[in-house]
Amino acid sequence: MNTNTISYTVHDSPLGPILLAGTSQGLQHITFDSEKHPKHAEANWQQSAKPFGKACKQLDEYFAGSRKIFNLRLALVGTEFQQKVWQQLLEIPFGDTCSYGDIATRLNNPKACRAVGAANGANPLPIVVPCHRVIGANGKLTGFSGGLAIKDWLLAHERGEQTLFSFDELQGIC
């Protein structure tokens, strides 16, 4: 991958197709096809699966239950505050959850819950930067770029709650 050239691939997952995009600097985007406004490859992007071999392998391992931590080069683009929030997301252990308030407190700014929520919602790398592990202070699920059904599926997956159904089959049942 060239530093300025964005490459992309579409990878099949239990949650449906996901788009991965990035440059030679690292992975920049993961987008679910189920999003309200899914990110699609732009005209100047180059389709190539090769740069994403490691990311796809690690995502497959995550979905298979054999990977809990990702080891990928990331090229997160965001404000200084967003970067701090995203770094906090990387600290949430597999299978655990925390609230927006917890993250605001860790950032020494306990009143920044809404700003943390906005930064969490702007996370361009769901799953790898586990924004799905952030829930409301009341313990309820709150927004997620891929939708609450995917967030619920990811959390159940991490708790080891196995299902005989794929995500698509569960959508048809619920």
DSSP letter for each residue of 11-79 = E--TTS-EEEEEETTEEEEEEETTSSS-----TT-EE-SGGGHHHHHHHHHHHHT--SS----B-----
**Whether the Cβ atoms of residue 126 and residue 32 lie closer than 8 Å to each other:** yes
Examine the residue annotation and report whether 131 is marked as an active-site residue of this protein. Answer: yes
Look-up of token digits 């920049």: 28
H or E, element range at 116: helix 113-121
The pair phi, psi for residue 73, each rounded to 5°, is -80, 120
The Cα–Cα gap between 52 and 45 comes to 14
The sign of the CA dihedral 90, 94, 97, 102 is: negative
Candidates 56, 98, 113, 131; catalytic one? 131
Look-up of token digits 């790898």: 128
Active-site residue numbers? 131
